[in-house]
Structure 1
């Protein structure tokens, strides 16, 4: 790291030009990069995906993964809609509302059946599948004509209304907006925090690093889209998580440089250079290690057999790697060129935080009490995670307060089945009537529709919907029975949204134990080699697991159970957590929270080495106080900046992204306060000398070198004297 910094400072113009070219190129092409992102979420070779692809191919792009629109009417008391005149009116209206190339079914059709009519005959519903367009709003082109076709229509004097899962989830609103607004919100919040931390012009330096790292990452994402499909969610992750990570890494280096600079003669160019080298060498090791741990955790997404999550993993890997590269190369140049000018008004710098010194002393004096209290709090926060339910949000929670939600609630109340908004689409080459009768007998099934015109060649589509919503336990069990019944018959596949969810869970979490073991092992090896300890990496893994579990618990309370989702996001409880969110949260949060562990343990280790050289027996407790007092303020500020970035991410009008952002924001705050501020110092103090146990065989395996002397600008070492002498 020392050699890299020296080279960078000797080639400042070249380094600056390279990063400027990359940033400008990335910024100029960012619009095209966003346009090239994909809205698809496929599961290659999964049974439900095969069914949906076949339905899409044989039925002109209708149905399959896209839920139907629901056309409905409820007649006044005493009126039955199956009377002859109403049946004819209803059939004509449904036919008129169905777009060209689309398909539909109502009780007026052959094969529609009485299941599309409520038991009292007052309410009916028709399923309409328009041709779907690619993108997040598959029916956006068809909806205006459908609404025009039913405008003012009345059956038995009652208005005809439109609902359905696409309307309830807001998927008819068009493409999601770009992340520019959210990024600006996060940047303004970060600038406020940095202004408080530095109280000088240095506050803009981390933002400059982010301003280079983000467009450069977008440029690499553009190259990635030429090789594989990349999810549209990546644009938000690069912009907002990239903002937080780049600022965090820069904050660490700049803070350490400021500390080194406070001990030198700032009028001496040699000493100024030495301070940059010393800061970049020490803090740079921590930054590189942090980037490595984030990259390792994101590898969990890359190995999944789900292209959507793999693309998130690929792009996620680029975020820390680019941020590390910018922090280790461009940042020393900025500090050399602008650091002294921006550090104004210059005030006496105090490396140790009084508040965090008191906290560290308290936790190290009473480590058992601190560990029990903070550990108990973590376990309490993590407890709700055991009730997590994976799946799409309950349909009744979508479209909060809107007319489509009220219309859907009327359908459910009328006894037409909550699962009608997300039916299972069974594709079969067998006799459709016999297959429909067999599926109708499955427990929990509310209705089956097998219209004669849903056939092409020897393929037939049958819609099956459940009494309960597929998102809740009873509905999920019924869907599983339908899937099993359908797939047990030769030439029959089960598609639609609910079966795809089931296959998605199997694909994402089927090999989860192996993934967790691999990620933990790689992280342990990296930390053990750097920290030269066995127990500290193990402690870090355990605490990261607890921190992630606490984040899961928070998101279950807020979103699944609804304790805060209405107040914070004007959305009721979802009843379930979107399938991909927990895995993505683990991949990002495990690495991000490890950042803070690395920052703290790296500084504790430096202090331990210094105190050991000065003499004394067990210096672990004193080193812990020094490490926490010098990183507590830094970690708190860095966590607050990331929290603000995730808060900005949660304003994206996509429920999945909001749930994801909530989990990350909660996890970061919990980790930076309870875990790193209290539990980490308490456990290090309890471990004492054992913290530094590092058996020789493991050292040989990991090929560690002898302990290096920590750099210090105040007391010149051989390397520092060479810097002062001007040696490159």
Structure 2
């Protein structure tokens, strides 16, 4: 593979303009096509085989699609100066209702001036709009149009806010300044790393081309597959990080070879042959980890996984083709426009080599200290709180949060997360007054935690009953999930009770994630270790790398628990506590983490962490092949990669931290988790823990049984024979040598 990559890199370097123009045209065409013909999005959060999905299907089959999704829109009307029943205010609300009745697809409008339509203080009213024939995928747009139609109430000084009736997955996460901030921060890191503006711009340009290409493909794929609205932001976040990092690794290698006097095209060929192979294998681990999400049993999560993988594929392709083309075109001008007082990464890296030597002389102490520090970082993960997140945690001042607060104040927190109860009856009943239906309603009302049950509706064939149960608790309250289970547990002869709605769906998602998590983790770890085994032909190295990545995940989950579950830092990431919170509650403002986030985070982090492992192991392996001395190879490998890995990690951290500014809590969660994990991985784990364990293992690092060596294909990632002149030492350390040894 390394020879093939080398030939590819050499060809791209010799035909730079062809490659550059092809990529620019392709990226512009793909991105332009996706913008000119925006594809429909479908955030179907259904989970086949769950009770919530069964309730949804029964609603659609027995009562029409309008009941299942997008059939009802609610507007909250608030009078800050007095009761809504005051004549002028009441007339204004009635004019708004009259206009709403004329809107397309509206079948009926319930005014606030009905039983249960107005709060006890008479200042908050609820307008309920029933619809039919509308596009359920455009519920957010429809809601805004209906809200605009209620302007007569606003003109009378009343506040009108649309209640959020969409699924959490329907929240479109729009791109914004975070991408710009991330790119600017990455550029600054690259300037400090390379010391020249031209070299710093190369990875940025390559990453932007790869992200544009990936987003274009994702946008066009939306015409043939269901594409979540979050796909773009996830692809941008990961694509920027890996795209800049992969180009950075190649560029660093190329500049070192140029400094040694290697001609430009030959330097590019050697760079792609060696570091390009590492990029391909590193990208492969990320794609494997993301693809494993298809085993989670959650279609939305699976789609997010492989869609994000598209951005990684684009980053790998631009790294092994576009970057070599740019390097060939620039030649020695890659070092042009030097920044004063900055030496850049062309320096020897003796600081990291010195750290490697220091670690090699005291591996046991370093191993113990690193384990203690990592254990302390991971300890808060025991307090990780998973659960549905509601609009009460939304951006302060936003319409969804304002509607949530008005609903909770006027009617109770449970009205923000009603339970949709659908029951299958053993026989046909004449209507809602049938004794069996009345008994069922009574059973639901008797469930602890149920505050209110709506009038039941029986479908046309008399075999299904639909009602709405309002819990006493907020959607994010863990007691609401218990209410869901208790309603489902109702036992009447021949009656099957199903519960749907937002809370029930997220509860089922949490259960499915808990059930499938061991499978996903096992597959990711096994396949990633297998890929490393193919790359380095060293079973112990492959197993150790998988374990090290799991360690960095522990630190990430510890940070998430500390910030979100314990609440020590939610204000710093832009989450606002409720207005009624006390001073202590404001400081320790706990926010639940969606149940599917840890699994998605695991897949992304495991793949990204493997990147640094591959680059470090490649350098150590090359040194070991030259002279056969393990401890010295570890020090030299750390010395040659330490600075570039640190720079790459800083770029990743900068990009992910910039995305914390997004108002969406899910994006904030990913930003915090990814930033902390990458920082810990590139410092404590790659700088101390990995070198210490490799020194202690000695030659066992590269041991491989003969039978396994014969079975494995030759897919070496290094290509060291092409860029090093020093012969391989004939005398090697015995197995186990290097324990506590110096660097020699």
Q: TM-score under structure 1 normalisation?
A: 0.83
SS in 2 for 1:568: coil
State the alpha-carbon separation in 2 of the partners of residues 341 and 244 from structure 1. Answer: 25
Deviation readout 1:506-554 (Å, 9 max, x if unpaired) = 3444222122212211111111121222222212111211212221221
> C-alpha distance in 1, partners of 2:126/2:201?
58
Query: 2:151, 2:246 → 1: CA distance?
Result: 52
Measure the CA separation in 1 of the matches of 2:413 and 2:221: 41
**Residues 162-177 of structure 1: matches in 2 within 5 Å?**
164-165=163-164, 176-177=173-174
- Picking from 332, 350, 353, the partner of 2:349 is 353
Q: 2:303 aligns with which of 301, 311, 330?
A: 311
Greater alpha carbon shift after TM alignment, 379-388 vs 205-214: 379-388
> Secondary structure of 2:452's match?
strand
Is contact 2:626-2:726 (8 Å) kept?
A: no
Within the alignment, does 1:593 sit opposite 2:593 as a pair? no
1 CA distance for matches of 2:146 and 2:60? Answer: 17
Q: 2:622 aligns with which of 594, 606, 625?
A: 606
The CA distance in 1 between the partners of 2:689 and 2:216, in whole Å, is 40
Match 2:283 to one of 288, 291, 298: 291
Which among 549, 570, 593 is matched to residue 577 of structure 1? 593
Q: Is the 8 A contact 1:167 1:404 kept in 2?
A: no
Map 1:26-425 → 2, pairs under 5 A:
26-32=30-36, 35-55=39-59, 58=63, 61=66, 64=69, 69=74, 71=76, 101=106, 126=126, 128=128, 131=131, 133-135=136-138, 137=140, 139-146=143-150, 148-149=152-153, 152=156, 164-165=163-164, 176-178=173-175, 181-200=177-196, 201-264=198-261, 271-344=263-336, 350=346, 352-400=348-396, 416-425=411-420
Choose 397-406 or 642-651, whichever is displaced more.
397-406
Shift, 1:175, TM fit: 5.4
Contact 2:487 2:497 in 1 (8 A): no
1:309-708 matches, cutoff 5 A: 309-344=301-336, 350=346, 352-400=348-396, 416-428=411-423, 431=432, 432-450=437-455, 458=462, 460-485=465-490, 490=495, 492-572=497-577, 573=589, 575-612=591-628, 619-704=629-714
Unaligned runs of 5+ in 1: 154-158, 613-618, 719-728
Supply the distance in 2 between the matched residues of 1:542 and 1:487 (Cα, whole angstroms): 50
Q: Where does residue 583 of structure 2 map in the other structure?
A: none
Task: Measure, in 2, the Cα distance between the counterparts of 1:703 and 1:259.
Answer: 30
Number of residues paired by the alignment?
688
Q: CA deviation at 1:368?
A: 2.4
2 CA distance for matches of 1:123 and 1:482? Answer: 32
User: Structure 1 residues 232 and 410 mapped into 2: Cα distance closer, same or farther (>3 Å)?
Assistant: closer
Measured after TM superposition, the shift of residue 16 of structure 1 is 4.0
Moved more, 329-338 or 160-169: 160-169
C-alpha deviation, 1:64, in angstroms:
4.7
Distance verdict in 2 for CA 1:38–1:263, change over 3 Å: same
C-alpha separation in 1, matches of 2:575 and 2:285 = 36
Say if 1:169 and 1:399, in contact at 8 Å, map to a contact too.
Answer: no
State the SS of the aligned residue for 2:321. Answer: helix
- 1:31 Cα offset (Å): 1.4
1:303-355: CA deviations, max 9, x gaps? 34333222212222222222222211232222222131221267797453233
Displacement after TM superposition at 1:574 (Å): 5.6
In structure 2, distance between residues paired with 1:235 and 1:56: 30
Residue pair 2:100, 2:146 contacting (<8 A) in 1 also: no
Question: Structure 1's 709 and 471: CA in aligned 2 closer, same or farther, altered over 3 A?
Answer: closer
Query: How far is the alpha carbon of 1:672 from its aligned partner?
Result: 1.5
Residue-by-residue CA offset, 1:411-451 (whole Å, 9 max, x unaligned)? 6578x542221100123465454332211100111221227
Query: CA distance change for structure 1 residues 525 and 208 in 2, over 3 Å: closer, same or farther?
Result: same
CA–CA distance in structure 2, aligned partners of residues 331 and 404 of structure 1:
45
Contact 2:30-2:216 within 8 A present in 1 as well: yes
Q: Where does residue 723 of structure 1 map in the other structure?
A: none
Structure 2, unaligned runs of 5 or more = 426-431, 578-588, 729-744
In structure 2, relative to structure 1, the CA distance for the partners of 1:127 and 1:242 (3 Å cut) is same
Q: Which moved more, 1:596-605 or 1:456-465?
A: 456-465
Secondary structure of the residue that 2:291 maps to in structure 1? helix
In the aligned structure 2, how far is the partner of 1:304 from the partner of 1:254?
Answer: 37
- With over 3 angstroms needed to count, the CA separation of the structure-2 counterparts of 1:464 and 1:199, relative to structure 1, is same
